[in-house]
Amino acid sequence: MNIGVIADIHGNKPALEAVLEAMPPVDTIVNAGDIVGYNPWPADCVAHIREREIPTVMGNHDRAVAAGSTFRFNELAKAGVEHARDRLDSDQQAWLSGLPDRDQVLDGRLRIVHGHPEDPDRYTYPAEFSPELLDDEAVLVMGHTHVQHAETYPEGIVVNPGSVGQPRDGDPRAAFAVVDPTAHEVELHRVSYDIDRVIDAVEEAGLPKRIGTRLLEGQ
């Protein structure tokens, strides 16, 4: 069984579409949160996820949009949250509000969180990956850091698919992963997309220019 794994779309429609097109045949896709924030297409990205009924957990930007708060966010993050709040309709905002902090699929064999199993807002970088993060599941999926990484242990797989819409690991390509819990295997993938289109749309939306140009650096 192959499971597509995505995270941190952050309103980047061209990146999401590129990932969905490049995704090999999978039985289902799961999403580790932050559909919205930063980039100009929050409503389109929410619609993509909902139409495909992709199991999704709530990211910190999703929560900020739903709750109407930008506490501790920098100026770029604040601008993205405010833009998303303006662009999402009431039904989409209500859907975001109802997302869980964690979820389990495949009869509990795959667990999805945004930041850390014990704290959805905690960044869990590759150096902190360990089998101790697992709790009987075959696969633990995390997001939040925007850094793509996976480790395979006898106890199971820990994977961050990286960010679809705003990678921060020095590679500007959109990131995703495919896991096979039965075969105990994980593949990390990257796909190029039209970043210049995002930069132009950022400026047209009146968002800070740096939101777009930083994508060229994968930072």
Closest CA to 166 of 105, 204, 218: 218
Structural domain of residue 111, as residue ranges?
3-217
CB-based burial of residue 29 (10 Å sphere; 0-12 exposed, 13-18 middle, 19+ buried)? buried
Instruction: Give pLDDT, residue 183.
Output: 95
Instruction: Match 């964690």 to its residue by tokens.
Output: 102
pLDDT tops 80 at residue 70: no
Confidence tier at 213 by pLDDT (50, 70, 90): very high
Q: Are 20 and 14 in contact (CB under 8 A)?
A: no
Q: Encode pLDDT of 22-52 as tens digits.
A: 999 999 999 999 999 999 999 999 999 999 9
User: Whole-number mean pLDDT of the chain?
Assistant: 96
Q: Any residues with CB less than 8 A from the CB of 29 and at least 6 apart, and which?
A: 3, 4, 5, 6, 23, 52, 54
Q: What is the mean pLDDT of residues 92-113?
A: 96
CATH code at position 112: 3.60.21.10
DSSP 4-50: EEE---TT-HHHHHHHHHHPPS-SEEEE-S--SSSSS-HHHHHHHHH
Instruction: Give pLDDT, residue 71.
Output: 66
H or E, element range at 82: helix 75-87
Which DSSP category does 165 fall into? S
The pLDDT > 90 percentage for the chain reads 96
pLDDT tops 90 at residue 84: yes
Task: Write out the two tokens for 67.
Answer: 């709750």
pLDDT tops 80 at residue 202: yes
Q: How many domains does the chain have?
A: 1
pLDDT tops 90 at residue 69: no
Q: Are 166 and 199 in contact (CB under 8 A)?
A: no
> Could you tell me the pTM of the whole model?
0.97
Instruction: Give pLDDT, residue 97.
Output: 96
46 vs 29, 51, 156, 210, CA distance in Å? 14, 9, 30, 23
Letter string b/e over residues 179-191, b meaning 16 or more CB atoms within 10 A of that residue's CB:
bbbeeeebebbbb
pLDDT tops 90 at residue 99: yes
Instruction: Give pLDDT, residue 67.
Output: 87
